[in-house]
Amino acid sequence: MQGRGRRGQTAGLTARGSAPNLRGLSEFLQQLLNGISLGAIYALIALGYTMVYGVLRFINFAHADLFMVGAFLGYFGGRLVPAGTLLSGLGVLALAMAGCAVLGIVIERLAYRPLRGAPTLNVLITAIGVSLLIEYSGQLVLGAAPRTFPELFPAGRFNLGPVVVSTNQLVVIGVAVLLMIGLELIVHRTRIGTAMRAVALNPRAAQLVGINNDVVISFTFGLGSALAGAGGILYALNYPSIDPLMGVMPGLKAFVAAVLGGIGNIPGAALGGLLIGVVETYVGGSAWSTYKDAIAFAVLILVLLLRPAGLLGRVTVEKV
Amino acid sequence: MSAPLLQVSDLRVSYGAINALSGVSFAIGLGEIVTLIGGNGAGKTTTLRALSGLVRASGTAEFDGQPLLGQPAHRIVARGLGHVPEGRMVFSNLTVAENLAMGAYLDRDRDRVARNREEVFALFPRLRERLRQTAGTLSGGEQQMLAIGRALMGNPRFLMLDEPSLGIAPRLITTIFEQIVAINRQRGITILLVEQNANLALEVSSRAYVLETGRIVMSGPSPELRADPRLKATYLGG
């Protein structure tokens, strides 16, 4: 602990020592890029938390494990296709998203639907149970040892001015942006997306216009789980060591991101994810790198003290 | 009255140990405006919710000769039974246009949806002016118009309205009640009107039922009930 802290400090000092302005700026930009690509992944996971909260008013703790399942689907899928081409990379991504969507829908059907109308606490505890079930069945079937994630996309890096960009970072940011635009279109331009918002606003009134809430809830789980699956693959591209418990930490941070942005608020989840990713990366590259995992939670505490509904959330009165 | 459109017998609902409805029976004929009046907690809202499938009920209810109870709410809407709920329940963050589009959620016929929209605008021209506004920014009266318009988008043959006058400026109450009558006369939609404002309800309806603590205690043609001394003392303010 102490040693690492000191090393971080010396690194910071040397960076500041020689050619301070240029070095400082290039490091700032480099870390911003790293932070955005990490934050984009948190944002993808956070969207699932926030959408499910929107329609069912509970936190689906098993969501983080779909992120892990996505990474493993990518791992096995990646062995079936030629490595390092854009086409196979995107194919594996689509497969993992579809697999996670199905799993998410099945989990909702088996574990959460029977509890419709039950107190939220019961559903929350069930979610934790589902999460543990997936994690430890994962260890049982796949083993606890980490595996090396394959190179799905063409590998390479190039210089963009003072900043080194890896192709994987481009893939992460590109895919995340496209998925978020897609989500925005689904939620705001389609019939089922509008129905999702209607159910989130008032489930009873939604039934009274003929919306089958169960269908909308299944759809929401499928959509959120697909995004988590994509997040799992994108994460594994940049941190290519995967294991059945890999979802826990990113899942927690994405949950924080969702609360930070305002739980139930879709743009808020995206913003929260980016913020957490960027802040964490800067802290990780500073003298306080030991605290990089803690910073997300510190930010959360601050936001909840200053703006309890989250950055974009609105204070609402619970309806009875 | 020929074969009734809605026939309810011995409708019972309980919330835990509390009986909200203890055996309610009534019938509504095609094309009628019938009102259900009663004080707070009499079971008016529960009756409507039981019929539209929002709460579980026992007894029987036949709509158009087919059983109603036990079906999920979204199926009941599809059968042509519309419900404008208490407190309006518009989708507050959705625009007026989106609210109306959601009202037509089950209708795949684009032409009919467009026609229905025009008819709603003819009834409530204000909605056209407010089309791009989110429903939460409308006044109470406008939200009530939107709630009625949204229900009409679902092509109901039978419309249940829960306290449409609640919390609305008196000037708008008149407009809304005129349009409720118009919906009945011009579009031939049968109406069940739940109201606390008994004077108003008896004025526009042809028949009425009085509900008290989960039971129907009085019924008859509206003009007769308006003259009834017992009703005058309790509901019509003397």
- Cβ distance A204 to B89 less than 8 Å, yes or no, reads yes
Spell out which residues of chain B touch residue A206, defining contact as CB-CB under 8 Å.
91, 102
| Distance from C-alpha of A295 to C-alpha of A302, rounded to nearest angstrom | 10
Would B132 be classed as within a structural domain?
no
Compute the half-sphere exposure of residue A300: CA atoms within 13 Å on the CB side of its CA. 18
A248-261 vs A63-78: helix crossing angle, rounded to 10 = 130
pLDDT number for residue B40? 87
Sign of the dihedral through C-alpha A132, A135, A139, A142: positive
- Cβ distance B105 to A210 less than 8 Å, yes or no, reads yes
Q: Which residues of A173-186 are buried (b: 16+ CB within 10 A; e: fewer)?
A: bebbeebbeebeee
Residue A4 has pLDDT above 70, yes or no: no
> How large is the ipTM?
0.94
Residue A127 has pLDDT above 50, yes or no: yes
Cα-based distances in Å from A81 to A88, A89, A153, A154, A293: 6, 8, 11, 13, 35
Q: CB pairs below 8 Å between A and B: how many?
A: 66
Per-residue pLDDT of A45-94, as tens digits, reads: 999 999 999 999 899 999 999 999 999 999 999 999 988 899 999 999 99
User: Is B83 in the A-facing interface, judged by CB distances under 8 Å?
Assistant: yes
Whole-number average pLDDT of chain B? 94
pLDDT number for residue B236? 72
User: Is B97 in the A-facing interface, judged by CB distances under 8 Å?
Assistant: no
Domain of B216? Answer: 6-92+156-234
Residue A11 has pLDDT above 70, yes or no: no
Residue A9 has pLDDT above 50, yes or no: no
Average pLDDT over every residue of A16-37: 80
| Distance from C-alpha of A272 to C-alpha of A255, rounded to nearest angstrom | 9
Would B227 be classed as within a structural domain?
yes
pLDDT number for residue A17? 44
Identify the band that residue A29 occupies on the pLDDT scale cut at 50, 70 and 90: very high
- Minimal Cβ distance to A194: which of B78, B82, B98: B98
| Distance from C-alpha of A211 to C-alpha of B73, rounded to nearest angstrom | 9
- Minimal Cβ distance to B78: which of A202, A206, A210: A210
Sign of the dihedral through C-alpha A301, A305, A309, A310: negative
- Entry pTM: 0.89
| Distance from C-alpha of A277 to C-alpha of A36, rounded to nearest angstrom | 6
| Distance from C-alpha of A64 to C-alpha of A248, rounded to nearest angstrom | 6
- Cβ distance A212 to B74 less than 8 Å, yes or no, reads yes
Helix, strand, or coil (residue B33): strand
Would B140 be classed as within a structural domain?
no
A 212-231 → B contacts, CB under 8 A: 212-213
Cβ neighbours of residue A1 closer than 8 Å, sequence gap 6 or more:
A290
User: Is A204 in the B-facing interface, judged by CB distances under 8 Å?
Assistant: yes
Sign of the dihedral through C-alpha A313, A314, A317, A319: negative
Domain of residue B221, CATH code: 3.40.50.300
Would B65 be classed as within a structural domain?
yes
Per-residue pLDDT of chain B (238 residues; tens, 9 = 90+): 467 999 999 999 999 889 999 999 999 999 999 999 998 889 999 999 999 999 999 999 999 999 999 999 999 999 999 999 999 999 999 999 999 999 999 999 999 999 999 999 999 999 999 999 999 999 999 999 999 999 999 999 999 999 999 989 999 999 999 999 999 999 999 999 999 889 999 999 999 999 999 999 999 999 999 999 888 887 776 5
- Cβ distance A202 to B89 less than 8 Å, yes or no, reads yes
Can you read off the two tokens belonging to residue B228?
């009834």
Per-residue pLDDT of B161-201, as tens digits, reads: 999 999 899 999 999 999 999 999 999 999 999 998 899 99
Domains identified in chain B, total number = 1
- How far apart, in Å, do the first and last CA atoms of chain A sit? 50
- Cβ distance B74 to A211 less than 8 Å, yes or no, reads yes
Closest chain A residue by Cα to residue B160: A208
Would B124 be classed as within a structural domain?
no
Closest chain A residue by Cα to residue B148: A209
Would B177 be classed as within a structural domain?
yes
* Spatial strand order in the sheet of B6-15: B18-28, B6-15, B58-63, B66-67
Can you read off the two tokens belonging to residue A41?
């992944």
